[in-house]
Each structure stands twice: as structure tokens, then as C-alpha cells.
Chains A and B, each alone.
Chain A
Amino acid sequence: MLVIIDYGMGNLHSVLKAFKRLRVEAEVTADPAKIQAADKLILPGVGHFKRGMDNLRERNLIQTLNEEVLDKSKPILGICLGMQLFTKSSEEGNVAGLGWLDAETIEFSFPKEEKKFRIPHIGWNSLKLGTQTRLYNGISDSPSFYFVHSYYVRSNHTEDVAASTEYGLEFTSSIVKNNIFATQFHPEKSHDDGLKLLQNFVEHA
């Protein structure tokens, strides 16, 4: 069973719907027992980083997640805010994250006169794939996915970078590190390539 972690951060309908379409059994829950029993985890989410961490804490999920992901090496996929929460810290609220990845979450900040790169970064953008290709089997070499975010992840380890994307600067748009998988973009809103990525997580993670 795949568990989509419900910690009160945004709309989980589309993530659940994507797995339904893939005919993968999935449940949306915040119950630690169900998270412990799950084969695989998804941490989705949109919204404020600090609120995301606070919500995980209020639901007593941080310890459970640390045990499942770090001690038991359970595969987890973080999407958007989920990916950012895996990092050490964020400039959004200046708080610490889960710290599973040697990476930081940084605010997009361009000069006010810069009108080309508007924030939030919303829309389709392409990926430059790195060497960690487990999520990208059967997906074209420079695929496009749907992004919506105002903060980005900068990884300090190039070997963890599964993909990078350019928007005024180059940022880490996907990470694969052992059992930890992450995408800044929304595979659940990215049509066929997005579904393929989720299927790869189910089959190869």
C-alpha cells in the first residue's frame, strides 16, 4: 500500500487521482500506524515551508518519518513543498527542515526591473537530467513538467541531482538519493510523462 501523507498542506486530490489512474492502491492519511505499515510514501504539498514543518510536528509525524525513511530506508517521494521539506533549511520562515538532504531551500530573488522571470515560477519547464535516472526510465531526454513555486532547492551534492531546470538561474528540480526521491515540479499535473514518473516510483523505487 502506498500512503500519501496528509499534513494539511494543500490539495491532495490530484495526487490520489494520478495513482487511481495508474491503478495503484493509495491512501491519504496522517495516521502514523498506516505510515509505518506502508510500502512507500508520498509527501506532497504546496504552501508555506514553516507551516509545513509545524503541521508535521503537530501531527507527531517527524519522528515517524525519520524512522521510516532514515532507519528503515522506506522509499519516499517528495513533491514541491515536500521536496523542500527534505532539505536542511528554508529561507521561507528561516526554519530547519527534515534535513535528509544536504541541500537548502532558497527564495527566487531577481531585481525588480527583471520582468522576464516572474515569481512564482508557474508553468511548463524542461529538465536537464543527471546521472540518477531511476525516476526517468522511459521518459524523453529533456522532458517538460509543470512547476509552481517561489522557492527553489540548491543541492550541495551533484551526484544527488536527478534533474536541474533553468529559470533565471539553474536550480535542482529533482533529487534521487538512495530511498529518497523528490521533484520540485508536479508529476501529478504533468500529463503522460508525469504519470510515467509516478509509475517509475511505484515500480523501481
Chain B
Amino acid sequence: MYRPRVIPCLLLKDKGLVKTIKFKDPTYIGDPINAVKIFNDAKADELVFLDITATRENRITDVEVIRNIGEEAFMPFAVGGGINTLEHITQLISAGAEKVVINTATTNNPSLLTEASKIYGRQSIIASIDVKKKGGEFVVYTDGGSIRSTKSASATAKAAAEAGAGEILINSIDQDGTQEGYDIELIKLICNSVNIPVIAVGGAGDFVHFTDAVHNGGASAVAAGSLFVFIGRKRAVLINYPDSDELQEMFSNE
């Protein structure tokens, strides 16, 4: 039976791992390679690394960091942050990443998705969309959530799928780091807009939220940050991941 993927989404800043709340206040979590080792032992389905300051600093993630992650990761992993040319994608995939996550360029330059999918196949290209709810509308933000675009979330998702993205990573800025649950309305909207897999991220605080995003939102995969790196109300850093029985259990009544 097909099981939705459960994906730790890890944020990189200055070569360390951090976690944000509503895209702000990055808290240092630890060393990325150490985290990969722990998620390996826990047999995580996939990993996503997002470099949260790359776009603003006009760079991509240091390929040496990606190479080191690739040496350790025994599961597929994706890398995002600052990718706006084909050359960036080639560098990251050559360094060992299976997939790239394209955020700002998805909104501003979707033809990059077309070029990249022609060379690397659409399964290597994740279009990432950061969304804030403004006056009842789901509005897309780019540049790490700092610039408000004129585009709606559903139109951006549709355009990305048509351009050649293999998956959509839909992120609610409002829910990021809150651990209060996903924005199910947003997930549903995106799932109804496209026929490619949708990965939900932003707000997971409990395994019940994963079930909710899949059964009620229609997501093909769920991603989370805080839930996998913090434990307890005081947000003590402790990397954790459900075991295979728990994963089966979560989605079993589908």
C-alpha cells in the first residue's frame, strides 16, 4: 500500500541548522551533518534542506555542505535557497542532491522549472510556494517571505505544475513554527489546483496534524520542522522521528 511521506524540513543558516517562527527569530538547533545521521538511523523517508538567507544574500548553499550531507544521507534529499539559474541546479544535483526546491524563481521565473525538468526530469524539481493569508486571500511571498508578490497561491501552483514542477511544497508562513496544525484550507486549495504531488509544510505540532493534512487536505506528503527538532513546551532541542509502525498507523484508515 502507498504511504504518504513524512519529511523533516530543516532550515540552514550560516551552515548551521535553525528553526523559525512565522519565518522570524531563527533559533540555532545544531549541526546539519549530525542531524542527517540521526534521521538516517531513524529511517526518515526524505529530507528537505532550505537555506533561509540564500536568496537575500544572492547565493546558493555551499556545495561542500551539500556534498557532506550527500555522503551521510541514505534517503533522498532536496535542497533549496537562492536557486535562480540552471547552473545552480546542476551544481546542487552534481553535489549529491536528488531534488532542488525552487521558491522565488517559481513565482518570478517559472521558465526555470521548464528548463530544469527537461534536463533532470520533473521528479527532481520541487516548486515551493510561501503563502500568507491577507484579507481572506492566499497571497504568495518570495525572497524568504520578505516580499509580497501580486500572485495568488492557486495560480502560482497551477503555473508551476504546467511549467514542469514534479511536486509542490506549500508553506503557510502564518503557521510556521506555531505547531498549531497545518492550514488545511490552503492545502486543499492547492491539491485541487494541480495533479502533481503536494507536500504540506508549516504548523505541524503533532502526528494528528499529518493525518489531517493527508486525509482532509489531500496532501501526498507532509513536512515539518519544529516537531522533529524540539520536544516539550520549552522547545528543548531533541531530534526525533516516528518509527515505521507509527507511520503506518498514522495513515492506516485511508
Which chain A residues lie closer than 8 Å to B218 at the CB level? 115
Residue of B nearest to A186 (CB): B76
Asked if residues B192 and A115 are in contact (CB atoms below 8 Å), the reply is: yes
Given contacts A11-B96, A17-B74, A115-B191, contact A166 B120 (CB under 8 A): no
A149 within 8 A of B: yes
In Å, the complex CA distance between A123 and B98 comes to 13
Of B1, B2, B71, B197, chain A has the most CB atoms within 10 Å of the CB of B2
Q: From DSSP, what is the main secondary structure of chain A's interface residues?
A: mixed
Asked if residues A150 and B74 are in contact (CB atoms below 8 Å), the reply is: no
Q: How far is the CB of B188 from chain A (nearest CB, A)?
A: 10
Asked if residues A148 and B74 are in contact (CB atoms below 8 Å), the reply is: no
Fill in one digit per residue for A99-126: 1 if any B CB lies within 8 Å of its CB, else 0: 0000000000000101100111111111
In Å, the complex CA distance between A105 and B241 comes to 36
Asked if residues B196 and A13 are in contact (CB atoms below 8 Å), the reply is: no
Fill in one digit per residue for B121-158: 1 if any A CB lies within 8 Å of its CB, else 0: 11110000000000000000000000000000000000
Given contacts A13-B96, A17-B71, A189-B76, contact A120 B1 (CB under 8 A): no
Q: Which of A7-36 contact B (CB under 8 A)?
A: 10-11, 13-14, 17-18, 21
Fill in one digit per residue for B74-102: 1 if any A CB lies within 8 Å of its CB, else 0: 11100000000000000001001110000
Q: How far is the CB of A26 from chain B (nearest CB, A)?
A: 16
In Å, the complex CA distance between A144 and B220 comes to 17
Q: How far is the CB of A8 from chain B (nearest CB, A)?
A: 10
Which chain A residues lie closer than 8 Å to B124 at the CB level? 10, 46
Asked if residues B75 and A122 are in contact (CB atoms below 8 Å), the reply is: no
B45 within 8 A of A: yes
Q: How far is the CB of B187 from chain A (nearest CB, A)?
A: 12
Q: How far is the CB of A20 from chain B (nearest CB, A)?
A: 9
Residue of B nearest to A81 (CB): B121
B108 within 8 A of A: no
Asked if residues B74 and A123 are in contact (CB atoms below 8 Å), the reply is: no
Which chain A residues lie closer than 8 Å to B98 at the CB level? 11, 14, 189
Q: Which of B179-232 contact A (CB under 8 A)?
A: 191-192, 195-198, 218, 220-221
Chain B interface residue bracket vs A: 20 to 34
In Å, the complex CA distance between A122 and B125 comes to 12
Q: Which of B155-173 contact A (CB under 8 A)?
A: 166-167
Which chain B residues lie closer than 8 Å to A112 at the CB level? 195
Asked if residues B74 and A47 are in contact (CB atoms below 8 Å), the reply is: no
B3 within 8 A of A: yes
In Å, the complex CA distance between A125 and B98 comes to 19
Q: How far is the CB of B201 from chain A (nearest CB, A)?
A: 16
Which chain B residues lie closer than 8 Å to A144 at the CB level? 3
Asked if residues B221 and A191 are in contact (CB atoms below 8 Å), the reply is: no
Which chain A residues lie closer than 8 Å to B195 at the CB level? 112, 114-115, 118-119
Residue of A nearest to B75 (CB): A189
Residue of A nearest to B5 (CB): A123
Residue of A nearest to B198 (CB): A118
Asked if residues A46 and B121 are in contact (CB atoms below 8 Å), the reply is: yes
Asked if residues B96 and A122 are in contact (CB atoms below 8 Å), the reply is: no
Which chain A residues lie closer than 8 Å to B43 at the CB level? 191-192
In Å, the complex CA distance between A115 and B196 comes to 9
Q: How far is the CB of B41 from chain A (nearest CB, A)?
A: 10
Which chain A residues lie closer than 8 Å to B93 at the CB level? 11
Which chain A residues lie closer than 8 Å to B196 at the CB level? 118-120
Residue of A nearest to B74 (CB): A191
Given contacts A14-B98, A120-B196, A146-B76, contact A166 B1 (CB under 8 A): yes
The contact sample of 16 A-B pairs, CB cut-off 8 A, is A10-B121, A11-B98, A14-B76, A14-B96, A17-B71, A21-B74, A46-B120, A46-B121, A46-B124, A115-B195, A119-B195, A123-B2, A123-B3, A124-B3, A148-B76, A191-B74
A-B interface, 8 closest residue pairs, ranked by CB to CB distance from nearest: A47-B121, A123-B5, A13-B96, A118-B197, A125-B2, A120-B123, A148-B123, A191-B43
Sample of 15 further A-B pairs with CB below 8 A, known A11-B96, A118-B195, A191-B43 = A11-B93, A11-B98, A14-B70, A14-B74, A14-B98, A21-B74, A118-B196, A119-B196, A122-B166, A123-B2, A123-B4, A146-B76, A189-B74, A189-B75, A189-B76
